[in-house]
Amino acid sequence: MEYEAVIGLEVHAQVHTRSKMFCACPVVEDTGDLPPNAYVCPVCTAMPGTLPVINRRAVELTLMTALALNCEIPPVSFFARKSYFYPDLPKGYQISQHGLPLGINGYLDIQTEAGPRRVRINNVHLEEDTGKLYHVGNVTLVDFNRAGVPLIEIVTEPDMRSAEEVREYAERLREILVYLGVNSGDMEKGVMRFEASVSVRPKGSDVLNPRHEIKNLNSFRALYRAVAYEIAHQIEVLESGGRVFQQTMGWDESRGATHVQRSKEYAEDYRYFPEPDLPPLEIGREWLEELRRGLPELPTARRARFVHEYGLSAYEADLLVADRAVADYYEAAVRLGTLSPKTVANWVIVDLFRVMKETGKGIAELPVSSQALVELIGLVEAGTVNLNTGREVLDEMAATGKSARQIVEEKGLAQISDEAALRAVVEQVLDENPDQVAQYLAGKEQVAGWLMGQVMRATGGKANPQVVRALLAEALSSRKQEAAGGLAK
C-alpha cells in the first residue's frame, strides 16, 4: 500500500515590540544570562486587581503578517481566555484569540518537488508568552521575564505532504516575518517555535486520520527530522496492523525519535471564552489600508523580479534576497547605474559575503556603503587595479572604512599595464629561471603558469595579468624559436 502524509503546522513567533503584550515591561532579548524576574510588573505576574492594556504595535505587526499571508481581516476581533494550569502561567489562563482572530483564510505558496503548492492558512492570531521554569535538583524555579511577551501564532490547514514541504513552508514564513520586521529570525534565541501535526493515510484518500502533534520544535532541522520520523513511524504502525491515536508528542533530538507526552487535548478542554477585561478590537479599515500600502515587496516576488529585471540566475537571486538588508544594498548599488547588475551580484555574492563571513559582520555593520563598493568595482573594471588587488582593497575598506581610491593611492596599488615596463620584468624573470624555461621549451607547458606567478610577484601583484600573459607568451615563443634556430645551426 502506498501512503501519503498529511501535515499541518502551528508556528509561534515572537513579535518584535519594545514592550510586552499587555503591560509596559520591556521585551529583552533572551541572552541566556539575564537576571531572572528583572523585567516584570504586577500585570505580567498577575497580581490581584491588575488589568491588561493591548499593545497597539503588536496588533499592527500581526495585521501586517496576516496581510502578507493573504488573510481576510475580520472587522472585529476578540481576545479569549485559554484556561489551563501551569506554574509559569501565573493567571491560570493565557490571553489568546479564538473564534475571531486578527487574520483568517490566508495562504502561502511554496515551491515543492511536484511544483508549486498552496498552503492554506487557517488563521493568524496574537497571544502572550508564558514564563520559564528551571528545574534545579528537586526544586523548580520560575522566571517571568518572558511572561507576557507578544507571540503571533500562524496555523495552517493540513496541506503539506512531506517533511521537505514543511521545512520549505517554515523557511519561507521565517523570511516573510523577518522582511516585515515582525521577528528577528534568530532561531538560536528561540524566537520561532514549531508544532507539527502529522497523520498518514492511503495515497489518494481524503480522510483525515488521527494525528500526532509534535511540540516544541525549535529549529528547521528538528522540524524536518521530527516530521520525517513521524511519517515513517506511523506507516510502520499501520503496516503492522496497529492504529495511530491522537496524541501529543515530544521530540528527542539526540535519539532522533518522538515519544508520547500525553493524550492530546481538545479545544473544549481549554474552556475558551471572550476575555472580559479587554474590549472587542475594531480594526479600522483606513488603518488596514495604510498597513497594506506600507507592506514591503515580499521575498518571493523580489526573487522573481531580480531574475527578470537584473538577469540573475534563480540561485543568485536566492542568495541576495534571503537577507533584506543585502537585497536593499544590492539594489542601491545597481541603481547607481554605472555597472551591470550581474557584475555587482558577483561582487556581493563572492566577495562581500566572504568579508562578512571573515569579519562576522552583517552588511549593515560593514563600513562599506553600496556607493563605495561600486567605486571599487569601477576601478577593477577600468583596469586601475587588477581583480586580486581589488579583493585586497575590499578587505582594507571593510577594516578601515576608507574609500577604494584612497587605499589604492596610499598604498600605490595601481595596476601596471605599461608594456615596456612589464616586458622588462618578464625578460628578467626568464633570465633568472633558466631551468624552468628549459622545462617549458622541452614541452612542459604548465611551467608557464609558474613563470606568470613569478612576474606577478616581482611586481608586488600589481601587474595587469592580461598584459603579462600576452607578454610572457610572446617572450617564450621567441625563446622557442631561438632554441630551434640554435639547433638548426
- Where along the sequence are the contacts to ligand ADP (CB under 6 A)? 6-10, 155-158, 197-199, 208-209, 211, 267
**Of 234 and 415, which has the nearer Cβ to ligand ADP?**
234
Tell me the number of residues near Zn ion by CB under 5 A: 5
Helical axes 419-432 vs 447-458, angle rounded to 10°: 120
**Of 201 and 423, which has the nearer Cβ to ligand ADP?**
201
Cα–Cα distance for residue pair 249/252, rounded to 1 Å: 10
Give the shortest CB-18-to-Zn ion separation in angstroms.
13
Alpha carbon of 129 to those of 12, 122, 377: distances in Å? 9, 21, 48
Give the shortest CB-155-to-ligand ADP separation in angstroms.
5
Q: Residue 101, class by beta-carbon neighbours within 10 Å (0-12 exposed, 13-18 middle, 19+ buried)? A: buried
Give the shortest CB-6-to-ligand ADP separation in angstroms.
4
Binding site partner of 130, from ligand ADP, Zn ion, none, Cβ cut-off 5-8 A by kind: none
Q: How many CB atoms lie within 10 A of CB 245?
A: 12
Residues 6+ apart with CB under 8 A from 95: 21, 22, 52, 79, 80, 81, 82, 127, 128, 275, 278
Give the shortest CB-255-to-ligand ADP separation in angstroms.
23
DSSP state letters, 249-275: EEEETTTTEEEEEEEPP-GGGGT-EE-
Residue 23 makes contact with Zn ion by CB under 5 A: yes
Binding site partner of 226, from Zn ion, ligand ADP, none, Cβ cut-off 5-8 A by kind: none
Near Zn ion by CB under 5 A: residue from 5, 7, 44, 214: 44
**Of 14 and 199, which has the nearer Cβ to ligand ADP?**
199
Residue 451 makes contact with Zn ion by CB under 5 A: no
Residue 25 makes contact with Zn ion by CB under 5 A: yes
Residues 6+ apart with CB under 8 A from 407: 393, 396, 397, 400, 413
**Of 128 and 323, which has the nearer Cβ to ligand ADP?**
128
Give the shortest CB-103-to-ligand ADP separation in angstroms.
14
**Of 43 and 472, which has the nearer Cβ to Zn ion?**
43
- Provide the β-strand partners of residue 96: 80
Binding site partner of 381, from Zn ion, ligand ADP, none, Cβ cut-off 5-8 A by kind: none
Pairing of strands 150-156, 139-143: unpaired
Binding site partner of 25, from Zn ion, ligand ADP, none, Cβ cut-off 5-8 A by kind: Zn ion
SS3 label, residue 459: coil
Binding site partner of 211, from ligand ADP, Zn ion, none, Cβ cut-off 5-8 A by kind: ligand ADP
Cα–Cα distance for residue pair 168/161, rounded to 1 Å: 11
Binding site partner of 23, from ligand ADP, Zn ion, none, Cβ cut-off 5-8 A by kind: Zn ion
Give the shortest CB-184-to-Zn ion separation in angstroms.
21
| Cell numbers that stand for 227 in this block | 516530521
| Inter-residue contact 445 to 435 (CB < 8 Å) | no
Residue 41 makes contact with Zn ion by CB under 5 A: yes
**Of 126 and 312, which has the nearer Cβ to ligand ADP?**
126
**Of 263 and 478, which has the nearer Cβ to ligand ADP?**
263
Give the range of 40-48, 126-134, 167-175, 250-258 binding Zn ion by CB under 5 A: 40-48
Please give, one letter per residue, the 3-state secondary structure of 312-356.
CCHHHHHHHHCCHHHHHHHHHHHHCCCCCHHHHHHHHHHHHHHHH
DSSP state of 359: H
Give the shortest CB-210-to-ligand ADP separation in angstroms.
7
| Cell numbers that stand for 100 in this block | 475571531
| Inter-residue contact 127 to 153 (CB < 8 Å) | yes
Give the shortest CB-287-to-ligand ADP separation in angstroms.
28
Give the shortest CB-213-to-ligand ADP separation in angstroms.
6
Give the shortest CB-144-to-Zn ion separation in angstroms.
8
Give the shortest CB-377-to-ligand ADP separation in angstroms.
47
Find the radius of gyration of the CA atoms of the chain: 31
Alpha carbon of 337 to those of 146, 304, 342, 489: distances in Å? 47, 21, 12, 61
Classify each residue of 51-64 as buried b or exposed e, where b means 16 or more C-beta atoms within 10 Å of its C-beta: ebebbeebbbbbbb
Binding site partner of 44, from ligand ADP, Zn ion, none, Cβ cut-off 5-8 A by kind: Zn ion
**Of 170 and 429, which has the nearer Cβ to ligand ADP?**
170
- What residue number has its CB nearest to ligand ADP? 8
Binding site partner of 208, from Zn ion, ligand ADP, none, Cβ cut-off 5-8 A by kind: ligand ADP
Binding site partner of 158, from Zn ion, ligand ADP, none, Cβ cut-off 5-8 A by kind: ligand ADP
Residues 6+ apart with CB under 8 A from 485: none
Binding site partner of 61, from Zn ion, ligand ADP, none, Cβ cut-off 5-8 A by kind: none
φ/ψ (deg, to 5) at 44: -80, -5
Residue 7 makes contact with Zn ion by CB under 5 A: no
Binding site partner of 389, from Zn ion, ligand ADP, none, Cβ cut-off 5-8 A by kind: none
Footprint on this chain of Zn ion (rule: CB under 5 A) = 23, 25, 41, 43-44
